[in-house]
């Protein structure tokens, strides 16, 4: 059985063909990052226009690399949200037309469910496990009991972890996306240089990164009252980046630790774009070792947005008979 996956939820146009539930035959991600970098973030109208330009090429390339003809595709799995509505509409519109024209069943997949199933594309996590999804749009903690059986333990009350990275990067006059560049600066800085707040919210598994964002802004104002970031020496900026990153990573690792202890489950899956962060990967592994827990860390290309993960989750929907009609409409806000 072959599934064609399509994801256009944010700034990457992606298509993938998988065989069965987990063998990747192709996974094409056409990043728009270079274009959006110029604007310091995603520009929604640019994003949807780029998706329109790219989607047929990307899907075609995914089929070619998978050496698969359209008639051998059993189902098309498309991301139906959450994400940028204009971008999602391009993917869903394309998937619906293709499915209708070629007589292929359509499956709608929640983007978060895609992230949850990403690690299955290269390993076999055992249920139940605690899953941390941390990206530019989401920071949520789930208990995953099996396909379709998800218990939300907590989520961010304000900004997502990746969003905090992007906003801090913008304050520091750095390029978009913020994660990789702050990660690099942090490697040369002292994580203890500035004591930024950590919102542990001990009564819940929720997250909050808004206070941290405000604290970094005020620290910068104190160092450069005239707002001229360029005057701040690079070692000071590296220290701020390292201290900020330490605050984010401390909270993410501690919350996962609480969750596995409270639930008595020693299995962890880390996923979403922020999971590509080197410090988070290192510290989560250290905590998992100390707790005698098994940690699944997907490779970076599967942490970030990609269509193979949509196809992997779509496979389960398809075999369960959960087929979408042509009335499938994406939603920007779509809880799992």
Q: In this chain, which of 41, 105, 128, 180 binds other proteins, going by CB under 8 A?
A: 41
Cα dihedral sign for 189, 36, 86, 276?
negative
Between 288 and 305, name the residue whose CB sits nearer to other proteins. Answer: 305
The verdict on 2 binding other proteins (CB under 8 A) reads: no
- Tell me the window of 121-129, 151-159, 265-273, 313-321 that interacts with other proteins (CB under 8 A): 151-159
Q: In this chain, which of 19, 22, 30, 44 binds other proteins, going by CB under 8 A?
A: 44
The verdict on 114 binding other proteins (CB under 8 A) reads: no
The verdict on 172 binding other proteins (CB under 8 A) reads: no
Element containing residue 151 per DSSP (H, E): strand 149-155
Closest contact distance (angstroms) between CB of 265 and other proteins is 23
On the CB side of 195, CA atoms within 13 Å amount to 0
- Using alpha carbons only, what angle is made at residue 164 by residues 188 and 190, rounded to the nearest 5 degrees? 20
The verdict on 163 binding other proteins (CB under 8 A) reads: yes
**Pairwise CA distance, residues 281 & 273, whole Å:** 12
- Tell me the window of 38-46, 53-61, 231-239, 312-320 that interacts with other proteins (CB under 8 A): 38-46
Contact 106, 135 (CB under 8 A): no
The verdict on 45 binding other proteins (CB under 8 A) reads: yes
Closest contact distance (angstroms) between CB of 54 and other proteins is 17
The verdict on 159 binding other proteins (CB under 8 A) reads: yes
Residues 190-219 that bind other proteins (CB under 8 A): 206, 210-211, 213-214, 217
Strands 106-110 and 75-81: parallel
The verdict on 38 binding other proteins (CB under 8 A) reads: no
**Residue 67 burial (10 A CB sphere; 0-12, 13-18, 19+):** exposed
Name the residue with tokens 């590509």. Answer: 276
**Pairwise CA distance, residues 203 & 140, whole Å:** 16
Q: In this chain, which of 2, 155, 255, 267 binds other proteins, going by CB under 8 A?
A: 155
The verdict on 171 binding other proteins (CB under 8 A) reads: yes
Question: Per-residue x/- mask for other proteins, residues 83 to 112, rule CB under 8 A?
Answer: xxxx--------------------------
Cα dihedral sign for 59, 98, 103, 121?
positive
Checking phi first, is residue 109 left (phi over 0); if not, alpha (psi -120 to 50) or beta? beta
The verdict on 173 binding other proteins (CB under 8 A) reads: no
Cα dihedral sign for 42, 166, 84, 281?
positive
Q: Is the peptide bond before 82 cis (omega within 30 degrees of 0)?
A: yes
The verdict on 137 binding other proteins (CB under 8 A) reads: yes
Residues 46-85 that bind other proteins (CB under 8 A): 46, 82-85
Q: In this chain, which of 156, 239, 245, 306 binds other proteins, going by CB under 8 A?
A: 156
How many binding residues for other proteins (CB under 8 A)? 35
Q: In this chain, which of 105, 157, 200, 236 binds other proteins, going by CB under 8 A?
A: 157
**Pairwise CA distance, residues 230 & 246, whole Å:** 23
Chain residues that interact with other proteins, rule: CB under 8 A: 10, 39-46, 82-86, 136-137, 155-160, 163, 167, 171, 206, 210-211, 213-214, 217, 331-333, 335
């Amino acid at each position: 059985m072959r599934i064609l996956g399509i994801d256009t939820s944010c700034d990457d146009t992606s298509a993938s063909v998988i065989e069965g539930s987990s063998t990747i035959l192709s996974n094409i991600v056409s990043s728009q990052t270079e274009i959006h970098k110029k604007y310091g973030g995603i520009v929604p109208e640019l994003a949807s226009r780029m998706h329109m330009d790219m989607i047929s090429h990307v899907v075609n390339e995914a089929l070619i690399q998978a050496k698969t003809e359209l008639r051998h595709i059993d189902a098309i799995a498309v991301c139906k949200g959450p994400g940028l509505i204009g971008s999602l509409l391009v993917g869903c519109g394309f998937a619906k037309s293709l499915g209708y024209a070629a007589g292929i069943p359509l499956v709608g997949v929640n983007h978060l469910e895609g992230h949850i199933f990403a690690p299955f594309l290269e390993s076999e996590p055992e249920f139940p496990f605690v899953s941390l999804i941390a990206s530019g749009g989401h920071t949520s903690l789930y208990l995953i009991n099996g396909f379709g059986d998800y218990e939300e333990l907590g989520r961010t009350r304000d900004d997502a972890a990746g969003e905090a990275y992007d906003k801090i990067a913008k304050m520091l006059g750095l390029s978009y996306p913020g994660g990789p560049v702050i990660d690099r600066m942090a490697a040369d800085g002292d994580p203890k240089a500035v004591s930024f707040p950590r919102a542990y919210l001990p009564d819940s598994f929720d997250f909050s990164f808004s206070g941290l964002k405000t604290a970094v802004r005020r620290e910068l104002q104190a160092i450069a009252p005239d707002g001229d970031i360029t005057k701040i020496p690079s070692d000071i900026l590296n220290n701020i980046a390292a201290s900020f990153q330490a605050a984010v990573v401390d909270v993410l690792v501690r919350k996962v630790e609480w969750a596995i202890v409270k639930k008595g489950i020693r299995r962890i899956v880390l996923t979403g774009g922020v999971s590509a962060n080197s410090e988070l990967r290192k510290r989560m592994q250290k905590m998992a070792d100390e707790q005698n827990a098994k940690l699944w860390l997907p490779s970076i290309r599967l942490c970030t947005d990609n269509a193979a993960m949509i196809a992997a989750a779509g496979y389960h929907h398809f075999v369960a008979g959960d087929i979408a009609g042509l009335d499938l409409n994406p939603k920007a806000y779509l809880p799992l």
